[in-house]
Structure formats: C-alpha cells, structure tokens
C-alpha cells in the first residue's frame, strides 16, 4: 500500500516565551529569553535557581475551574495547547462537521508527568494521613490523561495513547501518529507533548546530576547552546501540540496547510543512561533514517532546529552527528537552538520545536540562537547567532534526543 502524505493543519503552544503560537513565534524571532529566577517555589538554597516558567497562564480560558482542579499542571498545559491546535485546525466539532470521530486520534506524551501534584500529595499524606489523599490523585498525574481528557472533550474516538521517551517524547508521539495516518489507521491525529517539572525534586535532581546551568545571576544568558562557556541546560515547561492530517482529507475539507511532515526517523545510542556517545553515532543514524524515510537527499535540507541543550557533551555530539550525517553539506546548513530562549521543555520540547520549525518554513525565516558570545571551536556550524535570518527553507529537520539514548527526528517540507 502506498504511503499516504501527512500535513500539519493545526498548532498550539504554551511556553516560557508565550502562551499562544503567535506570541511565542514573535518572541522567538525577536530573540527574547523566557528564562528567569524561579518563582514557583523558594529555590534560594538550590544550586540552580533559574527556569523557563510559564507565566500569565489561565487554565479557565480553556476548562472549567472544577475540571481543572482534577488535573496536574502538565495536563493544564497540554489541554490548553491541544485545544488551541484543534480550534486552529477547525476540527472541534467532530460530529457536526462531517468528520469521522472514529478516525481522529490523540497521542500526547510527557517525559515525567504529574510531578507537582505527586510532590504536593506526598506532603499532604505525611501531614494528614492517607485519608487526605484526593480521589483524583491518580488520574490527575498519569501521563496518558492529556490524551484521555482531550478525547472526552471533543469526542475523538480514534487511537488514544501517550508515548514516554524522556526528552524525545513529543517527537516520538508525532512520529508514531504520522505513521498511523500514512498507513491508513487514522485520518487525523493530535500529537505532541507537555511538561511541568519546575519543582524542588526535578530541579534538585537535575542539579545533582550536574546537568543544569548555575548562572543564577544572569538568567537571560544562562542557556547558551554552542557557546564555549555554556554550563548546562535550563529547565523549561509548557506544551507543543500539532494536528496531523492525511493530505487529501485536509484538502477535501478546505483546511489550511502549514507544511508537510515528509518523514521521520528513530534510533537508540545503546551507549549510556544520560550521556550521548562522543561520536554522535546514534543521532547521526536517526537523522539519516529520517532523510531516507522522507525520500529526500541530504543536500535538500536547508535548516535544522537542533536539540541543542547547552550542555558541554550534548552540543559537541550533535555537531559531530550533523557533520557525520550531512558530510560537506553540513557547512551549508543553518542550525539553531530555540532552547536558548525557552530552556529545555523535556517531554514537551519536540512539540514546541516542531512548531517553530514549521513556522520557519511557513514564514521563510530561521530563528536565532541567542547567547552565542564565544562560539565553541568544536561547534563549528552556522548556528544563526543572536539575530533571525530571512532565508529560503524548502526542507527542514527537527531533532530530539533523550536520556536512555532515545532519538527522534522529523523532516518537514514546504507545501
């Protein structure tokens, strides 16, 4: 059976740089950092005291206060971004608009899930005993409940799932969803990821692993991918959700099409729990798999939204991987990291960054990587330092790599 083509017809974002797609995109193009001192809790005794927090967010714009009380914050973010995406695509009325609800599915993941409510419920238990635990505690914190709640809200009766693969979660949700459409299982999938881990345990745990930046007195410049003086990633939070749709299905209903999801790839490093292999072999293989799956040549790729976390090992390994995958063409590529502005949204990163990649194609402009003051000689590609760049983008790539050596890559194409 020939592979059906998949396009993007809706997008939604909640992020440190804006709580709508348009606001986030404007701030990204302007190089505006969303990283500040942590306000969610008292972080004054923590080694890392900065994060990309979501600000000015009101869940009651999307859900009733009663329903919202039964959900952890990561579900709030995921639901808000997904509702934005569904409305953007014009599929909110799945029964009255001629759509087949049985063929609309949801696949929204998270790397960690309901950690804020897990921490607060643990405190409640120790202070007041087991009878104080909310009956909504479990469904408020488990990762598949964004997909579950969204399907209930809109009567989407297709496949309903959530993929959990650390920082590759959202990308893998998009990959698997696209393939379900390609091979006829569904016509529409709402896919991406959400995360809210600006909590004492998460910040303390990542800091103990020496993964976080400790540039506490200068949060705006703390996330500095490819810079010689980078000292770790900055924790972020939010959600990025896409509506994926079979191309002919989208055309029949007159949907706007942002771009085509031409292909994708996955791989494993099979190397280390948290560190990439020094030669970037797993990431390179993932990118190569995606290029082959998309049916394009490596020289057709114009732009990469890199994983680019601002860690010493990760940035070098990804640079090596890009050169391994693309050969001489690597020097002609434009590569950036929007994490320099958002921080690292963990399981939501791939969804948010896929949207930025789609918008880069749609508007023919590459966002900057901010905070490149002294480019690392070992990171020697064109990273769009500090200022957005108008350019021709026909084919673009978005990378996500996660703990456990799990990798995902998307290939997006201008329509």
307 is catalytic: yes
362 is catalytic: no
Is the separation of the CB atoms in 15 and 193 below 8 Å? no
Residues 6+ apart with CB under 8 A from 254: none
Determine how many CB atoms are found less than 10 A away from the CB of residue 391.
Answer: 13
Which one of the listed residues 76, 167, 197, 325 is annotated catalytic? Answer: 167
The two beta strands, 238-246 and 188-195, are: antiparallel
Which one of the listed residues 76, 172, 344, 362 is annotated catalytic? Answer: 344
Is the separation of the CB atoms in 276 and 269 below 8 Å? yes
Across 204-242, b (16+ Cβ under 10 Å) vs e yields bebbeeebbbebbeebebbbbbbbeebbbbbbbbbbbbb
Closest of 156, 311, 293 to residue 229, by C-alpha:
311
How far the first Cα of the chain sits from its last, in Å, is: 23
Which one of the listed residues 172, 307, 325, 379 is annotated catalytic? Answer: 307
Distance CA 123, CA 251 (A): 52
Ramachandran assignment for 56, one of left (phi > 0), alpha (psi -120 to 50 degrees), beta (any other): left
How far is residue 413 from each of residues 94, 99, 255, 259, 260, measured CA to CA in Å? 28, 26, 17, 6, 5
Is the separation of the CB atoms in 301 and 329 below 8 Å? yes
Is the separation of the CB atoms in 283 and 397 below 8 Å? no
Rg, Å, the chain Cα set: 20
390's enclosing H/E stretch is strand 389-390
Beta bridge partners of 380: none
Is the separation of the CB atoms in 18 and 54 below 8 Å? no
Is the separation of the CB atoms in 365 and 390 below 8 Å? yes
Helix intervals (H) in 54-165: 65-68, 73-89, 115-128, 137-141, 145-154
Q: What angle do CA 8, 76, 106 make, to 5 degrees?
A: 40
Q: Which residues are catalytic?
A: 167, 307, 344
């Amino acid at each position: 059976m020939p592979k059906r083509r998949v396009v993007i017809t809706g997008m939604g974002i909640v992020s440190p740089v804006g709580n709508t797609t348009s606001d986030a995109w404007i701030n990204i193009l302007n190089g505006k950092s969303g990283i500040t001192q942590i306000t969610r809790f008292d972080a004054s005794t923590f080694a890392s005291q900065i994060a990309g927090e979501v600000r000015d967010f009101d869940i009651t714009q999307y859900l009733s206060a009663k329903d919202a009380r039964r959900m952890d914050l990561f579900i709030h973010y995921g639901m808000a971004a997904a509702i934005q995406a569904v409305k953007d695509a014009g599929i909110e009325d799945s029964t009255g608009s001629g759509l087949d609800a049985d063929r609309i599915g949801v696949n929204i993941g998270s790397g960690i899930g309901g950690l804020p409510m897990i921490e607060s419920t643990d405190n409640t238990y120790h202070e007041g005993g087991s009878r104080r635990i909310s009956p909504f505690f479990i469904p408020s914190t488990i990762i598949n409940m964004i997909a579950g709640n969204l399907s209930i809200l809109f009567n989407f009766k297709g496949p309903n799932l959530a993929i959990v693969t650390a920082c590759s979660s959202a990308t893998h949700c998009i990959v698997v969803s696209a393939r379900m459409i390609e091979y006829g299982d569904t016509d529409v999938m709402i896919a991406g990821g959400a995360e809210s881990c600006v909590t004492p345990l998460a910040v303390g745990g990542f800091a103990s692993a020496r993964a976080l930046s400790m540039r506490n007195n200068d949060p705006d410049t703390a996330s500095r991918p490819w810079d010689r003086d980078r000292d770790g990633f900055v924790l972020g939070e939010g959600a990025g959700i896409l509506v994926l749709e079979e191309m002919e299905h989208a055309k029949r209903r007159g949907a706007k099409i942002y771009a085509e999801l031409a292909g994708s790839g996955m791989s494993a490093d099979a190397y280390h729990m948290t560190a990439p292999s020094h030669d970037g072999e797993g990431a390179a293989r993932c990118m190569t798999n995606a290029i082959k799956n998309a049916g394009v040549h490596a020289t057709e790729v114009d732009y990469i939204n890199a994983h680019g976390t601002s860690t010493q090992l990760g940035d070098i390994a990804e640079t090596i991987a890009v050169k391994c995958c693309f050969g001489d063409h690597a020097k002609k590529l434009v590569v950036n990291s929007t994490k320099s502005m958002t921080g690292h949204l963990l399981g939501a990163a791939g969804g948010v960054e896929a949207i930025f990649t789609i918008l880069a194609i749609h508007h023919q402009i590459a966002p900057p990587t901010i905070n490149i003051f002294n480019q690392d000689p070992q990171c020697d590609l064109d990273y769009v330092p500090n200022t957005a760049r108008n350019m021709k983008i026909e084919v673009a790539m978005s990378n996500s790599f996660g703990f456990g050596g799990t990798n995902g890559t998307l290939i997006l194409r201008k329509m």
